[in-house]
Structure 1
C-alpha cells in the first residue's frame, strides 16, 4: 500500500506521559518514514502555539495533565483515505463525525478500558454524555442519568455508547489479546485485529552507575522499577504494599517510580504507611529518549496495573533486556510469541513473592530477560507497520464493498 493519506485523531496531547500519546507518536513516525501522508489531530494550546499544523484548539483541565479539545474538522483537504481514531473524547468523536460525513472508513484502536476507568474518573461519564450528544444518539434524560449511577446501570449505558462506536468502525484494533477478549461484551463487532504497538527505544548516554549515583542508590542494591502514572487506576497501593513485603526480605532494595506527576503526595503517604518511604525514589515524567537509561539501571520492572490494555512499558523493558513481573495474568501473553510473561495474582503477597524470585534467582532472572528480549526482537517495528497497513487496506476494501451493496 503506497501513498495512503491517514488522519489520526487523539485526545492525548503530544508529549503526555501515557501509553496512548506514546503509541500515536510511534505509529505516526513509522507511517511517515514509510512515505505515507499523515495528519495528526491532537489537543494544542488555545492559540495554536504548537508546531503541528493539525493541532486542535484546547483548554487545560486544572490540576490534571489533560487538555480538552475544541475540534472543528469540516475544512480538511485533501480528504484522507483512512480515519484512525485513538480515543473517544471530543477529538476522537470529531473524527468519527468527519468520517461519516465524508464516507471515509474508520479504524479505531481500543487503547483504554473505559469501563474499568469509569470507576476512577468522573470525566469518563462527562465524556460519554458529550459523545452521545455530538453523535446525535437521541438519548433521553433517563439515559444520561444512568451515567451518574455506579454499578450495572452505568456500565450498561457505557456499553451502549461503545456499541455506537463499533457500529461506525470498519476495523477495530486491539493492542493485546486481553483487549480483544474484552470486546466480546459488545453485541455487534466489526473485524477485530490484534496488533500490539512496537516501540523503539533511543540510546541514552547515561550509564547504570551514573544514574544510580544521581538517585543515591548503592550500585549493589536490587532495584525495582515502575514506569507510568501513579494515579489510582494504576494501583500504586498494590505496588507499594508488595514492595514493603519485598523489603523485609531484601532490606537494601530500592523502588524507583518514573513518571509520577499527579498523586505524588498520596504516593508518599502510602509509602510512609508501609514503611518504605526511605527506599522510594519518585521521578517526574522524563523524555522518552532517556527511558533506556532507567531500564538499564534497574533489575526488574514491576507492573501493578490491572486496567491496562497493553502495557507499553513492558514491551520497552523487554526490548532493553529487563525482566518484567506483572500482576495481571491477562496481559502475560507476549506479542508474536507463545512464551508468557511472569505474572502473579493481584495481591501484595503474591506480587512481592514473584518479584523476590526474580531478584534472588540469577537463572530465573536471566531466563525471563532472554525470553522478553527474544519476543521484542521477533516483533519489530516493521512487523507492526505491516499489520497496521494491512488493517487499513482491509478497512478500505470492506467499506467499498459495503458501499457497493448499499448502492445496488
Structure 2
C-alpha cells in the first residue's frame, strides 16, 4: 500500500506525536509498504527525509513552521494520513482533495484543551481557515481571540471542517473517541492506540541513580515529558510535597524538561521540594528504558493528553503508573479478545494533590499493590503489540479505500442515471 503521512512535529522532537509518527512509519516500511513522510526539515540545509518540508524555527520554542509544497511527490499515494492540523497537515488535506485521495486523520492532540494554554493555537486556526478557503468573516477570526465559549465554538467549527474532509478518523484512546460527541458530523471513528516498542538500554538502575545523585534505596517518582502548563507540573509538585511528608527520603525526577526550567524550580521552591527534585533534559529515546528501570513509580498528572505514550512505555519496562485522568485509565491491551487476565485498569485518581499523593504513597509502600500493578501493566503491554497496532491501522486504511471506491462507484452510477434520464 502507498501511504503519505503529514506531520507538523519535526523529526526527533520529544513529543508523543513525533514518536507515534516515527513508530508508525517504521512499522509500515518494515512490513513492505511504500511510505512518504512529510515533516518540517531545515530551510537551507540537507533534509533528513527525502520528503522533508522546508521550515523555519520558532524562537524560544521547540517547534518549526513548515512551508509545504507537495507538487514533486514520487508517486501519488493511495491514502493520505494526516497527524496534525498545522501547515503541513493542511497541505496534505489540500493535496488529497485535489487528487481525490481518501484521508485518514489521527486526532493526536486535544486542541480545544490546548487553546487555553497556547496562543499559537488561535494563530494556527486562523491560518487553517485561510488555507482551506472557508470564507470566514472578520468577526469569525475575532472570535478566536475571545477566551471562553466563543473561541471554543469557533475551534469546533474549524474541527468540523477537518472531519468533513476525512474518510476515517483514528482516535488513540476511548477518551478521544468520546470527545467527538461535540461535533455534528463525524466520519467512522477507529480507536487505535499507538503501540511503541521500548528499546533496550545497557545503563543500569544504579548507574542512572548515581548520575542523578540519588541514593540507591530512595523511593523515586518519575515524570516524563514537557513541564508546560497543559501537563500540570503544579499538580505534580504539590502532590510530591505531600508525599515527602510521609516519605522524607523520596526523590522526584522530571525527565524531558527543556523549557520553563526556571518556572519549575520556582514552583518547587514554593512547594518546599527543590532539594528532592532532579530536572533532566530530554534524552535519546534509546536511553528511556534505563530511566524507567531507575524509578519506582511513574506520575502522570496531565489531563489534556489523548493517550499518554509514556505510560505504555513505563508499563513495558515494569514501572507502575499513577495518573490523574480517569478517562485514560484503560490500558490498550485490556480491550477486546486479548484482555490481560484480571486487569482492572491503571491506578487513577482525581486531579487534586491529596488524592494523587495518596495513590503514589500506596504504590511506594505496599509491595503487593506495587507487584499487582506492574504485572497488570506488563500483561496489557504484551497483549497490545506493535503488530496488533499495525493490523488495526491497516484495516482503517482498507476501510477508507473501500469507502472511497464505493463513493466513486455511486457517483459514476448517479452520473449515468442522470445522462439516461436526460
- TM-score strictly above 0.5: yes
CA contact (8 A) 2:333 2:382 kept: no
Which residue of structure 2 lines up, in the alignment, with residue 260 of structure 1?
257
Instruction: Measure how far apart 1:48 and its partner are.
Output: 4.2
Q: List, as ranges, runs of 4+ consecutive aligned residues in structure 1 with deviation greater than 6 Å.
A: none
Instruction: Measure how far apart 1:183 and its partner are.
Output: 1.2
The aligned runs of 1:261-340 (5 Å cut-off) are: 261-337=258-334, 339-340=344-345
* Cα distance between partner residues in 2 of 1:336 and 1:170: 26
Of 175, 180, 195, 1:198 maps to: 195
* Cα distance between partner residues in 2 of 1:48 and 1:152: 43
Of 94, 112, 130, 1:133 maps to: 130
Which residue of structure 2 lines up, in the alignment, with residue 69 of structure 1?
66
2:368 aligned with 1:363: yes
Moved more, 330-339 or 77-86: 330-339
* Cα distance between partner residues in 1 of 2:366 and 2:275: 25
Which residue of structure 2 lines up, in the alignment, with residue 226 of structure 1?
223
CA contact (8 A) 1:48 1:57 kept: no
2:344 aligned with 1:347: no
Paired residue total = 405
Instruction: Measure how far apart 1:178 and its partner are.
Output: 0.3
Gaps of 5+ in 2: 336-343, 415-422
Of 67, 86, 89, 1:89 maps to: 86
The aligned runs of 1:26-105 (5 Å cut-off) are: 26-105=23-102
2:157 aligned with 1:160: yes
2:372 aligned with 1:384: no
* Cα distance between partner residues in 2 of 1:73 and 1:309: 29
CA contact (8 A) 1:5 1:37 kept: yes
Local SS of the residue matching 1:336: helix
CA contact (8 A) 1:325 1:355 kept: yes
* Cα distance between partner residues in 2 of 1:136 and 1:321: 49
CA contact (8 A) 2:334 2:380 kept: yes
Instruction: Measure how far apart 1:107 and its partner are.
Output: 0.3
CA contact (8 A) 1:236 1:304 kept: yes
* Cα distance between partner residues in 2 of 1:333 and 1:84: 26
TM-score by length of 2: 0.95
The aligned runs of 1:211-222 (5 Å cut-off) are: 211-222=208-219
Of 148, 151, 162, 2:148 maps to: 151
